Amino acid sequence: MSTSEATGESEAASGVRPRRRPRPRTVLLAALALLVAAGLLTAGTGYWAYEHYTGRVQRIPRTFPTNAPVPPPSRGGSNYLLVGIDTRSPVATTGNDAKGALWKYGDQRSDAMMLVHIPDDRSTAYVVSLPRDSWVEIPGHGRAKLNAAYSWGGPPLLIDTVQRLTAVRVDHFAVIDWNGFRKLTDAVGGVDMLMPDGERRHMNGEQALAYVGERKSLPNGDLDRAHRQQNYLRTVLEKVTASASLGDPLRLKETLDIFTDTISVDERFTDTDMRELVWEMKGVRAGDMTFMNAPVKGTGTEKGQSVVHLDAAACAELWTAFKESTMAAYLAGHRVDRLRAATN
């Protein structure tokens, strides 16, 4: 590891400025159900658990948009839109524990959005965060912040917006709310986050929620916050796949129960699809994955709102790599805002 990789600084300065008092936010953890489960399920629980837990994952009806253009599938890979929502509901809205509506007009916002490309050889995953304040065209609503798409139209409108923005086909969708985030964090015994000074800081669910929601004190605002979310996801991946709980059937069952209690996926993501994915990715670990932000030009003001302006030309190259499944070559030839070994 190079000295620069240990600093926790991103590779590209974004110019994003903190804008308002932070609120507790959710980080996206739906990827855990897709990537971590393989390591857990092959650690001694047997096929009964493999079948049982994939079958318990909550499906979202009518996830995908209708009467909207659909990009062609990516060559040599598949794409997943993973979303964390900031909801005002006092009860769970995702997973088998859900007691509130997953979407109600104006009540939820997509606070964390990651587009993930998994190549057909299942050797890795490329995770790209889409800034929540990206100023984009939302079908039927004109230009607005990207997170407004979920607030106005739930999963179908968000998927439609992302597909039109990127020309990348979303094959599957997964979502978790902040209640699930906190519960899942506590279920794994908290996390030991690696900080820029090299120290590990232990955080429970509430503390981790504050950590991933902070942006006021961060030099690059929303983009640094996205890296915190990625850092958290990576840390949980590392902990679950390497922890002693793999040898503790009771702890393992509790963790798997939390996954299915807190995460929801699209109705097209069948049990068979999920089982094949987790089996084929059983050897993938956090260190095999690449986490980065979508390219941006900087920030600005639109209609009195502070927004993030995406770099259209740079993003087009990135999304082409998604569609052609040439992400390894793309990363070799481009300077990207990549998550390093530690983050702020």
- Kindly report, residue by residue over 71-118, the tens digit of the pLDDT: 999 999 999 998 877 655 454 555 555 444 554 545 555 567 889 999
Q: Are 213 and 25 in contact (CB under 8 A)?
A: yes
Q: 265: pLDDT confidence band, cut at 50, 70 and 90?
A: confident
Residue 226 has pLDDT above 50, yes or no: yes
Residue 269 neighbours by CB distance under 10 Å? 23
Looking at residue 24, what is its pLDDT? 32
Residue 213 has pLDDT above 60, yes or no: yes
CA distance linking residue 192 with residue 239, whole number of Å: 9
Backbone φ and ψ for 336, nearest 5 degrees, come out as -125, 160
Q: 57: pLDDT confidence band, cut at 50, 70 and 90?
A: confident
- In this structure, the chain runs to a length of 344
Q: pLDDT of 292-323, one tens digit each?
A: 899 999 988 998 888 899 999 999 999 999 99
How many whole angstroms from its chain centre is CA 211? 16
Query: 44-48, 142-146, 175-179, 284-288: which has the highest mean pLDDT?
Result: 142-146
Give the residue-averaged pLDDT of 188-204: 83
CA distance linking residue 98 with residue 135, whole number of Å: 31
Residue 264 has pLDDT above 60, yes or no: yes
Q: What strands lie across the sheet with 264-266, from one edge to the other?
A: 58-60, 264-266, 172-177, 77-87, 108-119, 126-129, 290-293
Q: What is the mean pLDDT of the chain?
A: 74
Burial 218-244 (b: 16+ CB within 10 A, else e): bebbbbbbbbbbbbbbbbbbbbbbebe
Looking at residue 88, what is its pLDDT? 53
Q: pLDDT of 125-138, one tens digit each?
A: 899 999 888 999 99
Looking at residue 314, what is its pLDDT? 97
CA distance linking residue 62 with residue 65, whole number of Å: 8
CA distance linking residue 157 with residue 169, whole number of Å: 14
Q: 55: pLDDT confidence band, cut at 50, 70 and 90?
A: low
